Amino acid sequence: MPQGPVDASQVPRFAGPDTYARLPRIDQVERADVAIVGVPFDSGVSYRPGARFGPAAVRQGSKLIRPYNPALDVSPFADLQVADAGDIACNPFDIGQAIETIEQAAGEFDARLVTIGGDHTIALPLLRAAAREHGPLALLHFDAHLDTWDTYFGAEYTHGTPFRRAVEEGVLDTEALSHVGIRGPLYGKADLKEDRRLGFGIVTAADVMRRGPDEVAEALRQRIGERPLYISVDIDALDPAHAPGTGTPEAGGLTSRELLEILRGLSGCNLVGADVVEVSPAYDHAEITAVAAAHVAYDLISLFALRRGQA
């Protein structure tokens, strides 16, 4: 029987443990099906820093999460052993070394990972670790930005380059790559051409508004098929009204409801790993961004539980 969150009828939510959703620590359970792991790293950012404090903020924003998810009719903490694995400590001064540390640590878990960042640089080592186990991955990337730059200020490893590096390294299945939520000005039209050359399809934030989450989710499911799927969620996919606490906000984004509904529409996909990144609490208000990110993580955990149940 999985060990779930602390009972809120016995311990008030504001007094419980500082783990995600007040779940047990990974050292308190015999094994974990899903591990929540933080990566407090933001040395790859190009604008506002602070995402190194994201894991702590998302854990704080998760205290009100309850065990039953009515939108997906699943009790993920009862169906799976979910545990908080703490943080991966990595070098804040050496991006290359940090990437190596994250990749090694991620590969040592005998569990599916839902990783809380940290900036989007961390997606590359997480993808490497997942691909070693599952082979080339389908990628569903929620973001305002493409994150497929070649370099920035001459640097190959930043929060704007992880998915180009992942394509170049062969860890992604180029038949099943999708961005969702893209919007805002670019440096030039060549950015879009390069992105298409790498194999990505784009669903803009305006496309989601016009087509609706259900239609978008179905199109994504068709593209993904039964491939092993990694979902990477930059919280700036949400409009700043729904996620002000992030480093590179862009107007005209998704609502938190749209993002959650698209994720829920992916029920049954072969999800093997996920991250939620770029929460920067210094720019947040009333935990708006942290709460949104905590609920995104909850629905990702629920997708793991549904896949287990359907299997």
Place of tokens 């049954």: 268
* pLDDT at residue 194 greater than cutoff 80: yes
How many C-beta atoms surround the C-beta of residue 247 within 10 A?
A: 25
* b/e 213-238 (16+ beta carbons within 10 angstroms → b): beebbebbbebbeebbbbbbbbbbbb
Lowest mean pLDDT segment, chosen from 7-11, 162-166, 200-204, 230-234: 7-11
pLDDT band at 311 (very low <50, low <70, confident <90, very high): low
What mean pLDDT is predicted for residues 1-25? 95
Please report the pLDDT score of residue 16 as a whole number: 87
End-to-end CA distance of the chain: 19
Rounded distance, CA 242 to CA 237, Å? 10
pLDDT band at 121 (very low <50, low <70, confident <90, very high): very high
* pLDDT at residue 116 greater than cutoff 80: yes
Sign of dihedral through CA atoms 172, 176, 182, 188?
A: positive
Specify the DSSP element, H or E, that contains 232.
Answer: strand 229-234
Residue 251, token pair as written in the block:
């107007």
Which residue blocks in the chain are alpha helix, DSSP H?
Answer: 54-61, 76-79, 95-107, 123-134, 162-168, 190-198, 205-211, 213-224, 256-264, 288-310
* pLDDT at residue 310 greater than cutoff 80: no
The pTM for the full model equals 0.98
**Residue 51 CB partners (closer than 8 Å, separation 6+):** 41, 42, 45, 117, 118, 119, 246, 247, 277, 278, 279, 280
Place of tokens 């934030």: 205
Rounded (to 5) percent helix, strand, coil in the chain: 40, 20, 40
What mean pLDDT is predicted for residues 295-301? 98
Rg from Cα positions in the chain: 18
What mean pLDDT is predicted for residues 89-117? 98
Rounded distance, CA 230 to CA 272, Å? 6
Q: Are the C-beta atoms of 103 and 133 separated by less than 8 Å?
A: no
Burial of 48 (0-12, 13-18, 19+ CB in 10 A): middle
Q: What percent of the chain has pLDDT over 90?
A: 98
**For residue 206, how far is the Cα from the chain centroid?**
21
Please report the pLDDT score of residue 309 as a whole number: 65
pLDDT band at 308 (very low <50, low <70, confident <90, very high): confident
pLDDT tens-digit map of 152-172: 999 999 999 999 999 999 999
